[in-house]
Copies of this chain bind each other. A is one copy, B any other.
Amino acid sequence: MSRNPAVGIRDIAEAAGVSISTVSKILNKKTEGVRISDETRQRVIEIAQRLGYQPNPIATALRSNRTGIISAVNLNPGGWFMGRLGVEVQLAAQKRGVELFVSTVNNRAESVEAHLTILQGQLFDGFLLLGDMPSYRDAARKWKNLYKPYVSVAGGAGIQAPMVHTDEACGMKLILDYLIGLGHQKIAFMGSPAWPLVPERFQLFREYLTKRGLCIPDNYVSVVDRFSYQPEKFDALEGLHRAAIQHAKSLLQQANPPTAIFCAADAFALGALKGALQLGLAVPQDVSITSFDGTDGTFACQPELTTLRRPIKKVAAEAIDLLLALIDSPDDLALQKRILVEPELIVRDSCTPI
């Protein structure tokens, strides 16, 4: 690794025989109240090119109080959906010519604190908060007073800040209408309260079924404890999967089993599917299964899962647009908005009429 021969603005000024302020103005294409002859302008630009000048971003940031870089904190990077979301917001930012760096918080409060400090600092012009924060109520309160613009993405419906989220109520209606339309009345719910957004989804699930005149007996609600299955032996996701298999089995081995299982996230649905198969049941003939999120796991299984796809690219794009607008005019109250993106029902092979 050689030494950085960093050519600075000063070198250009010297080579061109002008002052550094002149160089700065030319390179920044300043026009207001600035008069520089075309000849000088041309010469400086050419010299900068030839010398391969790259402005020092740190110095630029110090003086102008902005770095042109935004950040995202992924609160729950472990799941399938959230993993992709982190990537998609970056791609969306790149499309708009902005660099975005992602960091993750490993479900530990200290990490959140450390990140708050960094984000409060001058390193980024704004940031995204990706995901749900069930265990970060304290941090969430602090976030209300952050001094940099931020947008909550996929953080649940209750967030009091500029946010972008899936319209999950609409999604719930889509998928339950579909199941009920197929004739299902005995619909079970499967999910873990510790999993992002699952509690909210359970609420929506219950509300909508009640509205349609169906009730959910307690034994149709399967609460998967993500850490219950040999946590010392398996990673969180694998443990969750294996726990879900067990839960699906006991759900289906009851005297009066459900005809359909609504799973609150893909991870549960894949477990439910395997649980049913392991009992010798056929999916969808013996039991229908739906999932929520529609990430890669749902098409890689057999049968492929009917699912509610969250429009992840659209969510990412809306989030970036909103954040960039907020950075431009942080005090515009019209930007304190809540954007809901409609999900899409993907009908595959895991449901059948009854």
B-binding residues in A (CB < 8 A): 1-6, 54, 56-59, 61-62, 67, 69, 71, 74, 77-78, 80, 83-84, 86-87, 90-91, 94, 99-104, 106, 111, 114-115, 117-118, 120-123, 145-149, 237-238, 241, 270-271, 273-274, 277-278, 296-297, 299-302, 330-331
Bound CA–CA A274/B301 (angstroms): 7
Given contacts A104-B91, A330-B1, contact A57 B301 (CB under 8 A): no
Asked if B91 and A87 sit within 8 Å, CB to CB, the answer is: no
Given contacts A99-B118, A102-B103, contact A87 B94 (CB under 8 A): no
- Residue of A87, A271, A300 with most chain B CB atoms under a 10 A cut-off: A300
A-B contact pairs, 9 of them (CB 8 A): A1-B330, A54-B120, A57-B122, A58-B123, A78-B87, A83-B84, A91-B104, A99-B115, A100-B103
Other contacts beyond A58-B123, A238-B299, A274-B302: 11, CB < 8 A:
A4-B120, A4-B147, A58-B58, A58-B122, A86-B86, A90-B104, A99-B103, A99-B114, A101-B102, A101-B103, A102-B103
Asked if B297 and A274 sit within 8 Å, CB to CB, the answer is: no
Q: Which residue of chain B lies nearest to A147 when distances are taken between CB atoms in the complex?
A: B4
Bound CA–CA A114/B90 (angstroms): 13
Within 8 Å CB of A83, what residues of B? 83-84, 87
Bound CA–CA A87/B61 (angstroms): 28
Within 8 Å CB of A87, what residues of B? 74, 77-78, 83, 86, 104
Task: Count this chain's copies in the assembly.
Answer: 2
Asked if A1 and B147 sit within 8 Å, CB to CB, the answer is: yes
Within 8 Å CB of A331, what residues of B? 1
| 8 nearest CB pairs, A to B | A101-B101, A4-B147, A270-B300, A58-B122, A57-B121, A77-B87, A58-B61, A83-B83
Q: Nearest Cβ in chain B — how far from A50, in angstroms? A: 17
Asked if B106 and A91 sit within 8 Å, CB to CB, the answer is: yes
Bound CA–CA A80/B300 (angstroms): 12
Q: Nearest Cβ in chain B — how far from A79, in angstroms? A: 10
Within 8 Å CB of A67, what residues of B? 58, 123
Within 8 Å CB of A104, what residues of B? 87, 90-91
- Residue of A2, A58, A91, A149 with most chain B CB atoms under a 10 A cut-off: A58
Within 8 Å CB of A78, what residues of B? 87
Within 8 Å CB of A148, what residues of B? 1, 4
Q: Which residue of chain B lies nearest to A72 when distances are taken between CB atoms in the complex?
A: B101
Within 8 Å CB of A54, what residues of B? 117, 120-121
Asked if A2 and B145 sit within 8 Å, CB to CB, the answer is: yes
Within 8 Å CB of A118, what residues of B? 57, 69, 99
Within 8 Å CB of A299, what residues of B? 238, 241
Q: Nearest Cβ in chain B — how far from A350, in angstroms? A: 13
Within 8 Å CB of A120, what residues of B? 4, 54
Q: Which of B69, B123, B296 contacts A80 (CB 8 A)?
A: B296
Within 8 Å CB of A302, what residues of B? 273-274, 277-278, 301-302
